[in-house]
Amino acid sequence: MSGTVKKVADVAAKAGKAIDWDGLGKMLVSEEARKEFATLRRTFEDVNHQLQTKFSQEPQPIDWEYYKKGIGSKVVDMYKEAYESIEIPKYVDTVTPEYKPKFDALVVELKEAEKASLKESERIEKEIAEMKEMKKKISTMTADEYFAKHPELKQKFDDEIRNDYWGY
C-alpha cells in the first residue's frame, strides 16, 4: 500500500474533526432532515474509521522464503519477479484545478446568501416579537395606540374619510 493512501486517510481524519456536526444539526428544521443528517454522519464516520484502520497501515511484506519451502523456488521466483515488476501509476489530479475556482466562487456566493438569510431571520424574529406583543395588547389597545405604531394606516384611513370613501 502506498503513502498516498495513508495521506488520504490522514486528510479524511482531519476533515472529520473540522466538521461541526452539532452546529449543522441545530440548523435542521424537520425530523426527516435530522434523520437523514444522522445517517450521513454515521456513514461518514464509518468510512473515516475504515480509512483509519484498513488503509492507513502498510501491508505486511511477503515472506518469499516461506513460500519457496512449501511450493518450490521456480514458481515463487516467477511470482516474485511479476510482483516486483508491477508499477502502480501515481494519481495526477486534473479535476481539482478545473473546478476549484468554480467551487470557491460558490463558497463566496453561499456566504453572501448566508448573510442575507441571517438578516432576513433577524427581521422575521423582530416581526414575530412585535406580533406577540400586539397579540397580548390587542384586547385593551385603543385605536390611537395602534395608529401610533402604524402611522401609514392612520394616514390611509384619514385620506379615505376626507375623500368620502367608505369602502362600498
Dump the DSSP string for 52-64. HHTSSSPPPPP-H
Q: Which of 57, 74, 97 is the last residue of a domain?
A: 57
- Structurally, the chain folds into a number of domains equal to 3
Domain that holds residue 7: 1-57
Q: Are residues 84 and 41 in the same domain?
A: no
Residue 120 lies in a domain: no
Q: Give yes or no for a contact between 53 and 9, defined as CB atoms under 8 angstroms apart.
A: no
Q: Are residues 17 and 39 in the same domain?
A: yes
63-97 burial string, b = 16+ CB within 10 Å, else e? eeeebeeeeeeeebeeeeeeeeeeeeeeeeeeeee
Residue 38 lies in a domain: yes
Residue 10 lies in a domain: yes
- CA dihedral (86, 88, 89, 93) in degrees, to 10, reads 170
Would you give per-residue pLDDT tens digits along the chain (168 residues)? 455 556 665 666 666 567 888 888 888 888 898 899 899 999 988 888 887 777 667 778 889 999 888 888 888 899 999 999 988 888 788 888 888 899 899 999 999 999 999 999 999 999 999 889 888 888 888 888 888 888 999 999 888 888 887 766
Greatest distance between any 2 Cα atoms in the chain: 113
